[in-house]
Structure 1
Amino acid sequence: MTTHADLGFDLDVRDTDAVADRRDELVAAVRDHAGTIAYQLARLQGGDYGRQEVSTPGGTWTVKHEAGELEFLLFSPKSGSDVYVISTKQPPEPADLATALGDYANFVAAWNEWVDSLSGVLDGVSAEFPDPASTDGVVAERDRVLDRVRDTCSVMAGEIHRYEGDDYGTFTARVDGDRWELKWDEGTVSYLRVGGSGGLYLLSQYEAPSAADVREYVDSFRGFVDAYNEFVVELESDLAAVEL
C-alpha cells in the first residue's frame, strides 16, 4: 500500500475547524447584535424592506432588513474589497471578517449618533389639524345626475336591443366633435363613453367619473340623446316606406 510518505508528502495538513468555528461564532454574535439594529431601522422606516448607510472613519456600513429581519450587513472599507459580514450566502473569509470587525464598534457608534440626531425632530409639531370638508353633497349631486343619465341610457339600450335583436351592440354618435358610444349587454347598459377608446367613461362597471367631468359633459349628453332620437325617426321613416 502506497502512503503519503512513499510519495514524498511527509507533511502535516493543518485542520481549519478551529478557525471556521471561531469565524462562525463571531458571525452569529454579529447577526444577533446587528439584528437589533435592523429591527430598529424597520420600525423607523415603516416598510417591509429598507436599508441604511452609515459612515465611519474606516469606511461605509450598509444594513438591510426585510420585514424587520436582518438581510445583510455590508462593510465597504475605504481601501480594499467589500465584506458581507452577514448575508444569505456564504460566510466571509476570516481575514475579511477580522478587518470588518475592527471597525464594527465605530459602526455601532455612528448608528447611535445618527439615531440621536433624529431625536426631537418632531418636538413642537402640532397634531391638531382642521376638520376635512365632507364630499357628501358633491357626491350626492353627481350621483343624482348620473342616475338620470343611466336611466335614459337604459331606455335607449333596451329599445335598440329590442329593435336589432342582438344581445350585444353599440350606438355611437358624434356630438360637438366628440365621439359618444353607448354599449349594451342584453338590453342593459354596459358603458357610456365619450372621446373614443381612450376617453372618459361616464357610465361603467368601475369607478364613477369626477363631478367636474360630469359637469363638463352633461350638456353634450343631451345632444347624444337628440342624436338617438333622430336615429329612431330615421328608422320609422325607413319602415314606413315598406310596402307589402
Structure 2
Amino acid sequence: MTEGIDFDFADAAAVAERRDEVVAAVESHAGRIARELALLQGGDYGQRAFDTARGTWTLKYEGGALQYLRFEGRGDSETYVVSTKRSPDPEALATAMTDYEAFVESYNDHVDSLSGVLDDVSTDFPDPRSTDAVVSERDRVVNRIREVCDEMAVQLHRYDGTDYGTFATTVSGTRWELKRDVDRASYLRVGGEGGTYLLSQYEPPAAPDVRRLVGEFEGFVRAYNDHVEGLESDLDGVSF
C-alpha cells in the first residue's frame, strides 16, 4: 500500500543530537552543584529543592554524584532535565532551560545565606571528665569475679572430665550461667539469652551492670558450693 508514496519527513536526528548536547552540559554543570551540596549537607546521599519565580528545581544526588535534576513549572509541568532513565522532550527541555540560570542563582543564594552562620558558635567546650577511676574500680571487681569463676572452672573440669561445660543456677529468680573452656571461665552470663555478660571473651561489662549484679554474685557462688556439696553426698556410703 506504500508504493508510489513519496512524502518528505523531517529528520529528528539533528534535534536529538542538540538535545543530548544540552543535557550533557547541564549534567556536567549541575554535577558540580551536586558535589558541593553533598559537602554542604554532610552526606553522600540527599536532595534539595530550589525555588525560582517560574517553578521549583529539585536536585538529587547519590554517592556525591548527580542522580537527577527535575524542573516543575508553575503550570504543573514536570521535566527531568537530567535523569538516569530517559532523555527529556526537546520542547520541555527548552522551556526548563529558560529558567536554569535562575536555578543556579537560587543555589548560590542558598550557599550565601549560610556564610558566617557558624561565626558566633563557640568551640570553647568543657573538658570531658576522665573515666579512669570508674574503669579501674570496675576492673578490680570484675577481675576478682574472674578469679572465683576460673577456680570454679578448674573444679568443674576435674569433676566432669570434659573440655567444655556449663554450670547454671537461679539466683533471686534470675538465671546465672557459667560456661567454661577446659579449666577457665569462658563467660558468666546473667539473665539467659540476651542477658548481661559479667565475664566475656570480648569486652568488659558496663560499670552500672557490675554495680547492679555484684551483690547477687555471692548467691551464685553459694549455689555452686551447694552443688558441689551435693555431689559429695552422692558418694557417701559408696564402698568396695
Same fold (TM over 0.5): yes
The match for 1:207 is 203
The letter for the 2-side match of 1:152 is V
Match of 2:47 among 46, 51, 56: 51
The match for 2:165 is 169
- 2:183 is the alignment partner of 1:184: no
The letter for the 2-side match of 1:110 is S
The letter for the 2-side match of 1:158 is V
Alpha-carbon shift at residue 81 of structure 1 (Å): 4.2
Q: RMSD of the alignment, in Å?
A: 1.7
The match for 1:124 is 120
Unaligned stretches of 5+ residues in structure 2: none
Alpha-carbon shift at residue 14 of structure 1 (Å): 1.4
Q: 1:203, 1:44 → 2: CA distance?
A: 45
Going from structure 1 to structure 2, the CA distance change for 1:159 and 1:108 (only over 3 Å counts) comes to: same
The match for 2:191 is 195
Q: Could you say what secondary structure the match of 1:109 adopts?
A: helix
For normalisation by structure 1, the TM-score amounts to 0.91
- 2:28 is the alignment partner of 1:28: no
Unaligned stretches of 5+ residues in structure 1: none
Q: Could you say what secondary structure the match of 1:201 adopts?
A: strand
Match of 1:99 among 95, 100, 107: 95
Match of 2:224 among 202, 213, 228: 228
Q: Could you say what secondary structure the match of 2:126 adopts?
A: coil
Q: 2:81, 2:146 → 1: CA distance?
A: 65
For normalisation by structure 2, the TM-score amounts to 0.93
- 2:147 is the alignment partner of 1:151: yes
Residue identity (%) = 58
Match of 2:7 among 11, 18, 24: 11
Q: 1:96, 1:163 → 2: CA distance?
A: 85
Cα deviation digits, residues 106-127 of structure 1 (max 9, x gap): 2112112222221221121111
Alpha-carbon shift at residue 163 of structure 1 (Å): 0.8
Q: Could you say what secondary structure the match of 1:240 adopts?
A: coil
Q: 2:113, 2:220 → 1: CA distance?
A: 64
Q: 1:224, 1:52 → 2: CA distance?
A: 59
Give the count of matched residue pairs. Answer: 240
